[in-house]
Amino acid sequence: MSFWVWFLIDLGIAILGLTVLGWIAWELFFKFTKLQKESEKLQASLAALQLEVDTAASYLKPADNLADDPVKLSGRWLARKSFHEREKSAKQRRLIARFSKRK
């Protein structure tokens, strides 16, 4: 084959390679613009967060409850536990009744 045939083959490969690289660059450009828009949103959120971090906290220390009566607190816990158990068993009864009506 002559020089010009090989030259055209190499030129075709080079053009194809440059086309693929151009397409990749084009896709990256659009991805970059989308990332830039998201980055602007994050920057606004970051500015608001930094403002909140810079302000002084208005945290009040919780009261000490070491002097509370443990019988009273455990009674409250047991009442809440029994209430939840009653609710759970009522829900199970309703579910069983609904399934038994399906027959």
Beta strands per DSSP E along 43-84: none
pLDDT class for 10, splitting at 50, 70, 90?
very high
> How much is the average pLDDT of 44-56?
89
Give which of 90, 71, 93 is closest to 82, Cα–Cα.
Answer: 90
pLDDT at 102 over 80: no
Q: What is the dihedral of CA 39, 42, 48, 52, to 10 degrees?
A: -120
User: Whole-prediction pTM value?
Assistant: 0.41
Burial string for 5-15 (b: 16+ CB within 10 Å, else e) reads: eeeeeeeeeee
Give which of 45, 61, 65 is closest to 53, Cα–Cα.
Answer: 45
Nearest-angstrom CA–CA distance, 18 and 13: 9
If you average pLDDT over every residue of the chain, what do you get? 91
